[in-house]
Amino acid sequence: MKFGSVPVAEAQACVLAHGVVAADLSLKKGRVLSADDIGALTRAGVATVMVARLEPGDVPEDVAARRVGDAVRGPHTELSTATTGRSNLYAASRGLVLIDAARVNAINAIHESLTLATLAPFDLVERRQMLATIKVIPYAAPEWAVAKAEEVRDVVRVAPFRPKRVTLVSTTLPDMKAALLDKNRAVLDHRVEALGSAVVFETRVAHDTDSVSGAIAQCLHQKPDLLFVFGASATSDRADAVPAGIGAAGGTIEHFGMPVDPGNLLLLARVGGTPVIGLPGCARSPKLNGFDWVLQRLCADVPVTPGDITAMGVGGLLKEIPTRRQPRDAVAGKPQGQPRVAAIVLAAGCSTRMGATNKLLMDLHGMPMIARTVAVTVGVASPVIVVTGHDAEAVAAALKDAPVTIEHNPRFADGMATSLKVGLNALPPDVDGVLICLGDMPAVTAASAGQLVAAFDPVEGRAIIVPTYQGKRGNPVLFARAFVDEMRAAEGDVGARALLSQHADAVYEVETDAGVLADADTPAAFAALKADFET
């Protein structure tokens, strides 16, 4: 790849390295310059531009990011569409993220153009949470480097939590109140249920070897997946009541103690094929402790060995870290995840230019126009809010089988902005962005809508995503939630388009297909659209 300043006349098909703003012209970096762009730059008086010129053996940044992403992703992960040289890996299930650190390091050592950043191994992740990001630093990477990275497979995967049947032995001492054991059980229930499992049986016995042994045998009759022992007194030695009772029941003590605080006195054992955990005293508290790390792995079918326990010391000082997420609130401190995008479909207009017929209800090869438009948004956004006005009942009837929310705008005659406000007011509080769609644009494809959602990343400055075709901007447009209040202030038929010029630095254009420009305002436009559907 060659990088440098070149005359505008020589820049066609090059990648613009620095954005250009001149007169009415605004071209963002990363754009592949077309013949029209060259003409516009020339008319604007721009003599030279800074560009990257790809050469044979170079892999364009998005292609490289996608190829590496496809290689590193393992089971229960999803890869985003690559854009601006970045592709993100997300969890397809709730569980533990498993990272092969040696393979991550191997990829990062191949070539400076390729980078892979991940979460820490064994982090608890929610569905749609980001696990890793692949970023190509320049505008291209060498083919040999990408090919070598593709040889490093299955680097990041998720082990989903599986429902487990848990049995519990609780030991007691003289004068110990039942309320204390009840509290211990409630805390354990909360921990286990947060991972999709359940305590199905408990027995309470005296704190001595024979009683523990008999209780373990009783629990094993329940055919549990996991067996826990809550000792009335902390285990101080392998010869203490709990480990001795496990041994008397035919079990094996695999490891005693762990380099995690709180959690030092955890006991790892096994009776037959059933894992047995002697719980440390800190398990009586809902605060994060070493038992949580072991429990999470067991509930995700990740084996826990003595070597795994002894390797937990780095990062194992938990008592002084109040920012760690607690088991009682697994989603506190919401991690950066795949953005949740809603859609607002504006379907309230009178369609006066179409004549007496409501264009949204016109048949487009067996389906009303509004139904075709909505079908595309349903595939990429949730929820989908349809705002009705004129012919409200008929429009709603055309969508009776669609998974959408209908909101009526009684002031639809006052302009598009009133319908936009109705839709915005119906948005859930947890959406990250909203796709503003026009009901009379059924030629927008699912692929185009998906491209907009894939490019959306407010953290990286891509907060307003606009589709284009051959340099012309179209619809729908995706806005970050940060712009909702400004959109509510819109008046008349302007809608939210004014924000594109007011926040030009947040706008990111995505080249799609001709459908983003094709509306059906007149009988002639509808006829042309219908003809296109036949081809």
The torsion region of residue 143 among left (phi > 0), alpha (psi -120 to 50) and beta comes to alpha
HSE on the CB side for 371, CA within 13 Å? 17
pLDDT at position 496:
78
Quick one: 408 and 528 in the same domain?
yes
pLDDT value of position 324: 52
Per residue, what are the HEC states of 261-300? ECCCCCEEEEECCEEEEECCHHHHCCCCCHHHHHHHHHHC
pLDDT in the model for residue 90: 96
**How many angstroms separate the Cα of 81 from the Cα of each of 89, 94, 219, 431?**
10, 21, 49, 20
495 shares its domain with 402: yes
In a domain, residue 489? The reply is yes
- The residue out of 280, 307, 329 marking a domain boundary is 329
Which among 110, 125, 160 is the end of a domain? 160
Let me know if residue 116 belongs to a domain.
Answer: yes
Count of domains in the chain?
A: 4
Low-confidence ranges of the chain (pLDDT < 50): 328-334
Which pLDDT score, from 0 to 100, does residue 306 have?
97
Pair 132, 178 in one domain: no
Looking at the fold, whether 120 and 64 belong to one and the same domain comes out as yes
The pLDDT mean for the chain works out to 91
**Per the domain annotation, does 334 fall within a domain?**
no
What is the reported pLDDT for 260? 96
Q: In what order do the strands lie in the sheet with 226-230?
A: 198-206, 165-172, 226-230, 274-278, 267-271, 252-256
Domain boundary at 329, 356, 375, which?
329
336, part of any domain: no
What are the helix (H) ranges across 405-508? Answer: 416-425, 446-455, 484-488, 498-502
- Based on the fold, state whether residues 365 and 477 are members of the same structural domain: yes
Q: Does 225 lie in the same domain as 194?
A: yes
Alpha carbon distance 456, 107 (integer Å): 26
**CB of 512 closer than 8 Å to CB of 469:** yes
- Give yes or no: residues 44 and 90 share one domain: no
- Helix H or strand E encompassing 48: strand 48-53
CATH number, position 40: 3.90.105.10
CA distances from 189 to 224, 330, 366 (A): 15, 15, 54
Among 181, 262, 273, which residue's Cα sits nearest to residue 229?
181
CATH code for the domain in which residue 507 is found: 3.90.550.10
* Single-letter code of the amino acid located at 131: L
Asked if residue 354 is part of any domain, the answer here is yes
Q: In this predicted structure, what is the pLDDT of residue 403?
A: 95
The pLDDT of residue 435 is 96
Note whether 136 and 274 are same-domain residues. Answer: no
Together in a domain, 17 and 83: no
What's 116's domain CATH number? 3.90.1170.30
Residue 335 lies in a domain: no
Please check whether residue 427 lies inside any domain of the structure: yes
Residue with token string 């012309």? 472
- In single-letter form, the type of residue at position 151 comes to E
| Residue type (1 letter), 499 | L
Same domain, yes or no, for 276 and 319? yes
How far is it between the farthest Cα atoms of the chain?
93
The helix (run of H) or strand (run of E) holding residue 242 is helix 241-248
Same domain, 352 and 410: yes
With contact defined as beta carbons under 8 Å apart, do 339 and 347 qualify? no
Q: Are residues 423 and 526 in the same domain?
A: yes
Owning domain of residue 247: 165-329
Long-range contacts of 519-527 (CB under 8 A, 24+ apart): 519/438, 519/440, 519/441, 519/475, 520/354, 520/359, 520/362, 520/369, 520/440, 520/441, 520/442, 521/351, 521/353, 521/354, 521/359, 521/440, 522/353, 522/354, 523/354, 523/355, 526/354, 526/359, 526/362
pLDDT digits (tens, 9 = 90+) for 77-111: 999 989 889 999 999 999 999 999 999 999 999 99
pLDDT tens-digit profile of 498-534? Answer: 888 888 878 898 989 999 998 877 778 788 877 776 5
The whole-number pLDDT of residue 148 equals 98
Q: Look at residue 173 and tell me if it is in a domain.
A: yes
